[in-house]
Amino acid sequence: MNSLYMPKDSLIHSLDPRTKMLFVVFVVASSFILNDPALQLVFLVALFPLVVMAKVVKPYLISIQFLLLFAVLIMTVHGIYNPIGVTPVFEIFGGLTFKYESMVYASVMSFRILVIGTAAVLFVMTTHPSDMASALVKWKVPHSFAFILLSTFQIIPIIAREAKIVMEAQQARCLDVKGSLIQRVKNLVPMFAPLFIITFMKVHQLSYVLECRAFSRKGEKTSLRETKIGSLDYTFLLGMLGFLAFEIYLKLFMMGSLQLTTDALLTYSLFGTWIVFGFMIIKFVVKQFQGKIGGAN
Amino acid sequence: MEPYISVKNVSHKYPNGVTAIKDINLDIHEGEVVAILGSNGSGKTTLVKHFNGLLKPTKGEITVGTMNTKKERISKLSSRVGYVFQNPNHQTFLPSVKQELAYGCKNLKMTEEDIETRVQKAIDLFRLEDRLDDNPFDLNSSQRKEVAMASIMAVSPKVIVLDEPTTGQDHKGCKRVLELVRMFQREGHIVVLITHDMHLIGELNCRTVVMNQSEKIADDHASVVFSDKGIMEEAGLQPPQITQFANQITNLDEMKTYLTVESIIEWMKANKEEDVKVGTGS
């Protein structure tokens, strides 16, 4: 049902959802406080042990690929074309020059995306949606709002499944889904019309089902999945607080004397994203090729 | 005679690693009605989805007519193999029944007159004259199912696959399905049925393929399959009530399996003078 949640037994999983929500807030704040590519890179690397601890390395790497696409795009396009750049770093063919200032700007942007993305993925993969809902309720979020959030998580896989059936059903009516671009745009109608109708029907049914189980009853509700803040959470929170204080100290008093960002770092991180991106493309092409041979759809 | 659909050593493994069907061999000839039985998750739907190319075999080969399903597009195969999905809501989306019927033909880029004749034929077959301008979503569920079937039939595929046609239908709807299957057969179509409705199979008295845990465990006439206690138990199936009843009458013609009420009544009329002896089961 919950496509992104990975049920595993780990320290991160056993944290209270509230702690993890604060963690996401902390990471977002940090990514803005550490307004320097080198520090952000360090921060990104520092987050990785948490991913390992949560035992979600493989799914994490898969989902972070999409964010890497953004990073590659931002670093390349901004590095060359952003008008704030004045100091050239190196030139690629055709007179396209990467400039220092724009590279700093692009790196900050893309590392920020990756850092926040990592925290978000970590949160979603280690938190059961129901736990999140019940944690929100403990934060005095109205029950129905928590439920809206929860049902959104749950309805996405349902819609995805229905979409697959609808597509098969329309293909069974001789719809060519592998036609030209115009044809594909036209195909959206037979795809989405039944999908919308079915989704509305399902939501309508869901509302009845909820009412049958006294959803709108007034008063306090208990939850099957109880969440509790324990010593582990306090340790984690304290750690975050300490880190935050350190970051602010770094920002306020050390920034002048600390010059970690160099041309080499920027260039290597740019090349790094390119290389990873190149691997992704090769993997994609190989998969397509295999698909053609194996005849998988 | 060359089979129309020929399934040779076909296995299918889903991307998540689940093997849904294992080493299936199956030949379906012109004019046949084939029922595919089995418990949920036994691989029935996976098997029939191979017929129109919705799934491609990960091992083995399937030929439909002269086409290898691996090499053909689904849209082309669909003109030979019509697949009626269980829930008509997945298929219908146009504002009128008539447009719905013409949709498949339009996808095949037929000429206007051609579409007109085919739609008219479907209208005649399904007796939909009075409902042509209705919105399919205003019809009741069995009528909607009929529209979905008619829209597949309008393309006039050689094979028609019905995925659980009687599920959620009232008695009238079930009877109509039976009627339609017989009609398809008369019109020269091959009918492949996925169903849990033993009564329907008993009435159709057709070839029956039993699937269990991704494998084909039986492929014979319904009367033979239904009388094979071992297979029925293995697949978790129960023959129609009338067959169970007939099996309890010990002095019945042992060689014959009784699939319908009519056949029992016939036997009773022929054996009026004898008492019906009920035993503990044969």
**Is the pLDDT score of B179 beyond 70?**
yes
pLDDT-derived band at A116, boundaries 50, 70, 90 = very high
**Residue A123 pLDDT:** 92
Cβ-defined contact of B137 to A173 (cutoff 8 Å): no
Spatial strand order of the sheet with B190-194 comes to B81-84, B159-163, B190-194, B33-37, B207-212, B215-221
Q: What percent of chain A has pLDDT over 70?
A: 95
Token pair, residue B253, equals: 């013609």
Cβ-defined contact of A176 to B56 (cutoff 8 Å): no
Residues 216-275 of A with CB under 8 A from B: none
Phi then psi for residue B33, to 5 deg, are: -115, 120
Residues 6 or more apart in contact with residue A235 via CB below 8 angstroms: none
Alpha-carbon gap, residue A266 to B70, rounded angstroms: 49
**Residue B208 pLDDT:** 94
**Residue A296 pLDDT:** 44
Q: B203-222 burial, b for 16+ CB within 10 Å, e for fewer?
A: bbbbbbbbbbebebbbbeeb
**Is the pLDDT score of B192 beyond 80?**
yes
Concatenated DSSP letters of A98-156:
EEHHHHHHHHHHHHHHHHHHHHHHHHHHHS-HHHHHHHHHHTT--HHHHHHHHHHHHHH
Residues 6 or more apart in contact with residue B159 via CB below 8 angstroms: B4, B5, B28, B51, B64, B80, B81, B82, B189, B190, B191, B192
**Residue A1 pLDDT:** 41
**Mean pLDDT throughout A1-6?**
64
At A191, which amino acid appears? M
Please list every residue in chain B whose beta carbon sits closer than 8 Å to the beta carbon of residue A177: 74-75
pLDDT-derived band at A266, boundaries 50, 70, 90 = confident
Q: Taking the CB of residue B82, how many other CB atoms lie within 10 A of it?
A: 27
How far CA B228 is from CA of A270, B36, B206, B224, in Å, comes to: 70, 16, 16, 6
∠ CA(B63), CA(B64), CA(B69), 5° rounding?
A: 60
**Is the pLDDT score of A2 beyond 50?**
no
Alpha-carbon gap, residue A27 to A43, rounded angstroms: 9
**Residue A212 pLDDT:** 93
Min Cα separation A267/chain B (Å)? 39
pLDDT-derived band at A291, boundaries 50, 70, 90 = low
> Which residue in A has a C-alpha nearest to residue B73's C-alpha?
A176
Q: Where are the domains of chain B?
A: 5-237, 240-282
Cβ-defined contact of B91 to A177 (cutoff 8 Å): no
Alpha-carbon gap, residue B147 to B158, rounded angstroms: 18
Cβ-defined contact of B89 to A201 (cutoff 8 Å): yes
**Is the pLDDT score of A297 beyond 70?**
no
Most confident of the following: A81-85, A170-174, A287-291, B44-48: B44-48
Q: Residue B103: which of A173, A178, A296 has the nearest Cβ?
A: A173
**Stretch (H or E) spanning B190:** strand B190-194
**Residue A110 pLDDT:** 92
Residues 108-167 of A with CB under 8 A from B: 162, 165-166
Token pair, residue A112, equals: 């920020």
Q: Residue B75: which of A171, A193, A198 has the nearest Cβ?
A: A171
**Is the pLDDT score of B28 beyond 90?**
yes
Phi then psi for residue B12, to 5 deg, are: -135, 125
Cβ-defined contact of B89 to A194 (cutoff 8 Å): yes
Q: Assess B73–A contact: CB distance below 8 Å, yes or no.
A: yes
Please list every residue in chain A whose beta carbon sits closer than 8 Å to the beta carbon of residue B151: 173
Alpha-carbon gap, residue B145 to B165, rounded angstroms: 8
**Mean pLDDT throughout A41-62?**
90
Write out pLDDT tens, residues B36-69: 999 998 999 999 999 989 999 999 999 998 889 9
**Is the pLDDT score of B226 beyond 80?**
yes
Write out pLDDT tens, residues A240-250: 999 999 988 88
**Is the pLDDT score of A294 beyond 60?**
no
Do the strands B215-221 and B159-163 form a parallel or antiparallel pair, or are they unpaired? unpaired
Q: Is the sign of the CA dihedral A250, A256, A258, A264 positive or negative?
A: positive
Cβ-defined contact of A189 to B93 (cutoff 8 Å): yes
Q: Residue A174: which of B56, B75, B93 has the nearest Cβ?
A: B75
How far CA A160 is from CA of A35, A199, A296, B15, B85, in Å, comes to: 38, 11, 20, 16, 17
Cβ-defined contact of B91 to A169 (cutoff 8 Å): yes
**Residue B9 pLDDT:** 93
**Mean pLDDT throughout A199-209?**
90
Alpha-carbon gap, residue A115 to A45, rounded angstroms: 9
**Stretch (H or E) spanning B10:** strand B5-13
Which has more confidence, A297 or A184? A184
- At B228, is the secondary structure helix, strand, or coil? coil
**Is the pLDDT score of B207 beyond 90?**
yes
Alpha-carbon gap, residue B58 to A296, rounded angstroms: 8
Q: Assess A168–B contact: CB distance below 8 Å, yes or no.
A: yes
Burial of A193 (0-12, 13-18, 19+ CB in 10 A): middle
pLDDT-derived band at A132, boundaries 50, 70, 90 = confident
Which range, of A169-178, B12-21, B99-108, averages the lowest pLDDT? Answer: A169-178
Write out pLDDT tens, residues A68-96: 888 999 988 888 888 887 888 888 877 78
CA nearest neighbour of B30 among B207, B188, B206, B220: B188
Min Cα separation A123/chain B (Å)? 24
Q: What superfamily would CATH give domain B5-237?
A: P-loop containing nucleotide triphosphate hydrolases (3.40.50.300)
**Residue A152 pLDDT:** 83
Q: Residue B90: which of A166, A178, A297 has the nearest Cβ?
A: A166
A vs B: CB pairs below 8 A: 75
Question: What is the average pLDDT score of chain B?
Answer: 88
**Mean pLDDT throughout B26-42?**
92
